[in-house]
Amino acid sequence: MSSEPRDQERDGAKCRALDNDLVWAIRMISAALRRAAADAAETLPGGSRAYLVLMALDETEDKPPTQLELAGQVGLDRTVMTYLLDDLEGLGLLSRRPNPQDRRSRHVILTDDGRAQLQRVRTDLAAAEERLLAELSEEERARFRVLLARVALTAQRSTLGG
């Protein structure tokens, strides 16, 4: 008597269990996106961390953040942030200016070269995202992004103690 149907049934149950496991799903998505981000940002000092910094600066262009605010926004230790900003500033991708309200802190501002590098990385990442989300319709992609952003904001608040 062959155990092949039973093995297939057990393997099918494992797949169904993984299909519904949030930890597994997020890990697979995260790994794929981390690889894509690392490849896209490989020419930036700090790789994908630099991408996150440039992206955050682009989003806050009307109100430049301080180094400390930026570190909190992207989830980096302030010491790591200082070294990363030094490297990015050395390449002309951002600049730091004294905060008029508090001369001890500095506002971080994205330069035109930084914006161009950010656009290059975004283009590469968009292609990777397109491959990753290929199984979803446009409507599903949009809904997935909205839901994922909501969950990410909840996670960020809980990480920050809020």
- Residue range 1-48, pLDDT digits in tens: 445 555 545 555 555 666 678 888 889 999 998 898 888 889 899 898
Q: What is the pLDDT at residue 162?
A: 54
Which pLDDT does position 101 carry in this prediction?
Answer: 85
**What are the CB-based long-range contacts (under 8 Å, 24+) for 90-95?**
91/45, 93/44, 93/50, 93/54, 93/117, 94/53, 94/54, 94/57
Predicted confidence band of residue 135 (pLDDT cuts 50, 70, 90): very high
* Cα 70 to Cα 90: distance, rounded to the nearest angstrom: 18
pLDDT tens for each residue of 78-134: 899 999 999 999 999 999 999 888 888 889 999 999 999 999 999 999 999 999 999
pLDDT of residue 54: 95
Q: What is the pLDDT of residue 2?
A: 47
